[in-house]
Amino acid sequence: MAQVAKIPVIDLSGDDQTQVAKDLVEAAIEHGFVYIKNTGKDIPVEAIDGAFEMSKRLFDAPLSDKQACTIQQNNRGWSAMNYETLDPANQRVGDFKEAFNFGEFIDNKAQQPIPPTIAADEPRVSAFRDLCYNLSLKLNTLLGIGLEVTPASFFTTAHARARGPSGTILRFLCYPPRASLTSGEQQPTTETDVRAGAHSDYGSLTLLFRLRGQPGLEILLRDGKTWAPVPVTPPGTEHDPAPPILMNIGDLLAYWTGGLLRSTVHRVVFPSPSPGSSSSSSSGAGGLLEGEEADHGPRYSIAYFCHPFGGAELGPVPSERVRGYKGGVAEGNPYAERRVMTADEHLRMRLKASYAQLYKEKEME
Ligand SMILES: O=C(O)CCC(=O)C(=O)O
Ligand SMILES: [Fe+2]
């Protein structure tokens, strides 16, 4: 088995918040990824369990109900199997996943069509999105402190809802097992046929929730060629009530810091078939042991892509640390090198690349 990524685990509830901020920044510089120990203080475990339960119900909805919510150029809605291609330069077929993107809610109401199977849960989805938002603000504040940006509230202010609409998305993801793909569908046959193609995230930072027993996420190491698995339950968190929340730096924080904070390329792969794995008798996702990669059921994850207000400019922030950094952008990330003006312009550029069909269809109308 490949060497796993050595990503630090940080407890945000530490007494010395300056030290927490420094640890967070060091992890963001070194890895671009950090585990947030899940003590249930920022996001209660029941809220996470509830979100996964709603996600399963959503993906179990009849196909026609999901199709009625098909993703639009506003980046909201349902993305069908193989519809999004996160690494168009290298993938033969689109990602082997379904996804559902929630944009903003107003007064607990989604501003987009929602399948009837979860219609009654709109306030709960909205509340979960708010919990994620609050945690993302806390992380942005800590990053400002740790980088000694002047003012330290720079990133937090750029994410204030009062500044205007943002590209922020709460995304439910469902990766079906290889075995469930019917013969009429695309079949994963080569190494580039993956659940999510190699990419960096488009926003400022991402929060990722995963389930024990459902690995598959890998990060690209600094050598630009080695993929390291990111365990769901890193050492020291085995007895926590839920796996740590994974935080990663997206392209916008990389732009804002001239590449000092790493927007690390990552992907999601199918579990490698191993003898006996398909006959696992485990009763549910939560009961599997880490490393037990049975391909017997779908893999679920939930991502919160935090974006600043659309007009936010992405030039380097006032910070001695950023000014002094001459390293350039993360290896293997082609997007981080482009000069972009605002968060909105950047998001549109990225969406156009990964949803070729959606943008082609609309241009022809
Ligand atoms: O499902 C995962 O583990 C990661 C998904 C991801 O990287 C993304 O949606 O951007
Ligand atoms: Fe990602």
Q: Taking residues 73-79, what's their average pLDDT? A: 95
Tell me the per-residue pLDDT of 113-163, one tens digit each, with 9 for 90 and over: 999 999 999 999 999 999 999 999 999 999 999 999 999 999 999 999 999
Q: Taking residues 233-260, what's their average pLDDT? A: 95
| Cα dihedral 88, 94, 95, 97 sign | positive
**Weakest-pLDDT range from 148-162, 211-225, 276-290:** 276-290
Of the two residues 102 and 86, the one the predictor is more confident about is: 102
Region of residue 138 (phi > 0: left; psi between -120 and 50: alpha; otherwise: beta): alpha
pLDDT above 70 for 183: no
Tell me the per-residue pLDDT of 316-351, one tens digit each, with 9 for 90 and over: 899 999 999 877 665 656 665 555 679 999 999 899
Cβ(306) to ligand 1 under 6 A? no
The pLDDT confidence band at residue 275, using thresholds 50, 70 and 90, is very low
pLDDT for res 326 = 79
pLDDT above 60 for 293: no
361 token code pair: 């269809």
pLDDT above 70 for 285: no
- Tokens 């003898």 found at: 275
Q: Bridge-partner residues for 33, per DSSP?
A: 248
Question: Which atom number of ligand 1 is nearest to the Cα of residue 171?
Answer: 9
Residue 308: strand, helix, or coil: coil
Cβ(301) to ligand 1 under 6 A? yes
- Strands 109-110, 105-106: pairing is antiparallel
The pLDDT confidence band at residue 279, using thresholds 50, 70 and 90, is very low
pLDDT above 70 for 91: yes
Domain residue ranges in the chain: 9-364
305: Cβ contacts below 8 Å, ≥ 6 apart: 167, 168, 169, 170, 171, 201, 202, 203, 206, 250
Buried b (16+ CB within 10 A) or exposed e, 298-308: bbbbbbbbbbb
DSSP letter at 128 equals H
- Tokens 């996160």 found at: 86
Among protein residues, the one whose CA lies closest to atom 10 of ligand 1: 201
Question: Which atom number of ligand 1 is nearest to the Cα of residue 206?
Answer: 10
The pLDDT confidence band at residue 287, using thresholds 50, 70 and 90, is very low
Tell me the per-residue pLDDT of 46-74, one tens digit each, with 9 for 90 and over: 999 999 999 999 999 999 999 999 999 99
pLDDT above 80 for 8: yes
Q: Cβ of 225: how many Cβ atoms within 10 Å?
A: 9
Please choose, from the candidates 254, 253, 233, the residue with its C-alpha nearest in 3D space to the C-alpha of residue 245.
233
Q: What does the mean pLDDT of the chain come to?
A: 89
How far apart (Å, rounded) are the C-alpha atoms in residues 228 and 193? 18
How far apart (Å, rounded) are the C-alpha atoms in residues 84 and 355? 5
Cα angle value 83/88/91 (rounded, 5°): 85
Cβ(266) to ligand 1 under 6 A? yes
Cβ(303) to ligand 1 under 6 A? yes
Q: How many CA atoms lie within 13 A of 23 on its CB side?
A: 16
pLDDT for res 189 = 79
CATH level 3 topology of 9-364: Jelly Rolls (2.60.120)
Q: How big, in percent rounded to 5, are the helix, strand and coil portions of the chain?
A: 30, 15, 50
How far apart (Å, rounded) are the C-alpha atoms in residues 86 and 159? 25
How far apart (Å, rounded) are the C-alpha atoms in residues 327 and 338? 15
Cβ(268) to ligand 1 under 6 A? yes
Please choose, from the candidates 36, 1, 53, 47, the residue with its C-alpha nearest in 3D space to the C-alpha of residue 285.
53
